[in-house]
Amino acid sequence: MDLILSHHRTDFDAFASMLLAQKLFPQARPFLPGTVIYKLREFISLFRNTADFPDVSKLRKIKGLEIGTAVVVDTRKRHQVKDFAPFLNQAKRVVVFDHHPPTADDLDAYEVEIYSFGANTTGLARKLERDAGTLDLTPVEATIVLLGIYADTGNLTYPGTTAEDALVVARMLQMGADLQTVNEYLRPYFDPAQRFVFRDMLHSAREIDIEGYKIVLTLQRLAKPIQGLSILVAQAGDMLGADAILGVFGAEDREGVQLVLQSHMPEINVAELAHRFGGGGHPGAAAANIPQAGLEETAESLLAFMTEAPWPTTKVRDRMTLEVVTLPPDISLSECADRMNRRGVGGAPVVDDGGRMVGVISMRDVEEAGQKGLLHIPIKGFMKHKVITVQPEDPLVSARKIISSHNVGHLPVVSNGSLVGILSRSDVLRSNGRDARPVELRPVAAA
């Protein structure tokens, strides 16, 4: 017998991957592990006619079983498929389809196909279309695939989501995938126990600034196991405006800690963080289970890794514009307007002969002076003296938040009291994939 298997606590991405793997290996039989996430369990009970995958207990009852090929999807870690260990050990061939980074716990596989997509389902859908020459699914099958991709990419919003994920989503919609069903099973619904935990999560949340990023840490001891912790953590992170949220959970009656980590920023790869604790996942969502660990000690270790790790943080100097239009303080407002119109700018820093920024003037200020008949006075008599600035080594994310909160279009960049560049909204919005470049900082003189 050939088998199709996946990790414990099977989620929608793993389930959809098993569905597509069965089309690639039609002779193989899919079996679920002993645990699946509760939303998937509800889904399976309703759509059993399309994907009636028995669990491992049925497999154990088959006598005289000989395993030919074992197809493992959405994982390659031994401890995540321990329910199937006896069958994997006797399999003549193990084939893996996964999209997670390698670890020391990886299976010995005859064939391994690794994807760089946000969802493992995406890779199998593309392989099926490539190998079979077509991708022909029923509307219900397309809905399952859509659930898998949306669940693992946060509806195509998590870091690590790719254009290929979106293209497969489009194909599933063309095949009749039902968005109402997807919304029903991915939309968070909290039962009374979950609402109680969620309330305590918000109450205990601790906000920490690391390199300009808002990191939220929440610790909680649970009286009993709670389903859907990842959804609770994601919702708490959204409500608190976190760039990343670290959920640390323990049980009141036993040792052990569960980590649930979420990130909205590509610079904060929570999969790498979870890997330090023996877990894994994706750059935007990861988890780890740590037996024989204490809650507070684990939280402190987690924060230590966060603060000590060399996160690849983009700085203001990586995006700022060096060629800055500046104005001297002694010219008239009339000449100021002429110069800004010629250079096509709506405002400019005011810089003295020594390169020190002494204020800022905007075209709106000039227009206001014109209405009062004051265009003959020098800039220094009408400019704004209190200017919000940033420094070249400030994290870009901090500058972005300043632009948003103060509703300013430009931020002068100052080093040692001298203007060295300017950061605009356009600079901030440039592709996150842009490489940092070495910049020689020189004071900017008045034009």
- pTM passes above 0.75: no
Mean pLDDT of the chain: 88
pLDDT for the residue 179: 94
Read off the pLDDT band of 46 (50, 70, 90). confident
Q: Is residue 354 part of a domain?
A: yes
pLDDT for the residue 26: 94
Q: Are 70 and 152 found together in one domain?
A: yes
Measured CA to CA, the distance from residue 148 to residue 39 in angstroms comes to 12
Domain termination residue (choose one: 186, 208, 223): 186
pLDDT for the residue 434: 44
Q: Are 175 and 40 found together in one domain?
A: yes
Measured CA to CA, the distance from residue 59 to residue 3 in angstroms comes to 10
Q: Is residue 423 part of a domain?
A: yes
Read off the pLDDT band of 431 (50, 70, 90). very low
Q: Is residue 443 part of a domain?
A: no
Q: What is the pLDDT of residues 142-167, one digit of tens each?
A: 999 999 999 999 899 888 899 999 99
pLDDT for the residue 414: 87
**Are the beta carbons of 41 and 15 closer than 8 angstroms?**
no
For residue 77, the domain's CATH number is 3.90.1640.10
Domain termination residue (choose one: 186, 219, 254): 186
Q: Are 279 and 403 found together in one domain?
A: no
pLDDT for the residue 435: 45
Q: Are 321 and 424 found together in one domain?
A: yes
pLDDT at 376 over 70: yes
Q: Are 199 and 159 found together in one domain?
A: no
Residue identified by tokens 């600034």 is 209
pLDDT at 229 over 50: yes
By three-state DSSP, how is residue 215 classified?
strand
Q: Are 182 and 324 found together in one domain?
A: no
**Are the beta carbons of 379 and 329 closer than 8 angstroms?**
yes
pLDDT for the residue 207: 92
Q: Is residue 436 part of a domain?
A: no
Q: Are 170 and 198 found together in one domain?
A: no
* Angle, CA 99 vertex, CA 76 and CA 167 arms, to 5°: 150
Q: What is the pLDDT of residues 170-221, one digit of tens each?
A: 999 999 999 999 999 988 778 888 899 999 999 989 998 887 888 999 999 9
pLDDT for the residue 152: 92
Mean pLDDT for the stretch of residues 83-106: 92
Q: Is residue 434 part of a domain?
A: no
Share of the chain above pLDDT 90, in %: 48
Q: Is residue 439 part of a domain?
A: no
Which residue range(s) make up the domain with 372? Answer: 316-428
Q: Are 119 and 231 found together in one domain?
A: no
pLDDT at 379 over 60: yes
The number of domains in the chain is: 3
Read off the pLDDT band of 443 (50, 70, 90). low
pLDDT for the residue 171: 95
What string of H, E and C letters represents the secondary structure of 138-198? CHHHHHHHHHHHHHHHCCCCCCCCCHHHHHHHHHHHHCCCCHHHHHHHHCCCCCHHHHHHH
pLDDT at 408 over 50: yes
Q: What is the pLDDT of residues 235-286, one digit of tens each?
A: 999 899 898 999 999 988 788 899 999 998 877 888 888 988 988 888 888 9
Read off the pLDDT band of 440 (50, 70, 90). low
Q: Is residue 407 part of a domain?
A: yes
Q: Are 292 and 325 found together in one domain?
A: no
Q: Are 38 and 169 found together in one domain?
A: yes
Please name which of 423, 406, 398, 409 lies closest in space to residue 313, comparing C-alpha atoms: 398
pLDDT at 433 over 50: no
Q: Are 159 and 35 found together in one domain?
A: yes
Read off the pLDDT band of 53 (50, 70, 90). very high
For residue 218, the domain's CATH number is 3.10.310.30
Q: Are 288 and 321 found together in one domain?
A: no
Q: Is residue 438 part of a domain?
A: no
**Per the structure block, which two tokens stand in for 370?**
């014109």
For residue 332, the domain's CATH number is 3.10.580.10
Domain termination residue (choose one: 186, 208, 239): 186
pLDDT at 436 over 50: no
- Beta strand 3-5 with 69-73 is parallel
Read off the pLDDT band of 110 (50, 70, 90). confident
Q: What is the pLDDT of residues 306-358, one digit of tens each?
A: 877 666 678 889 888 888 888 999 999 999 999 999 988 878 888 888 777 88
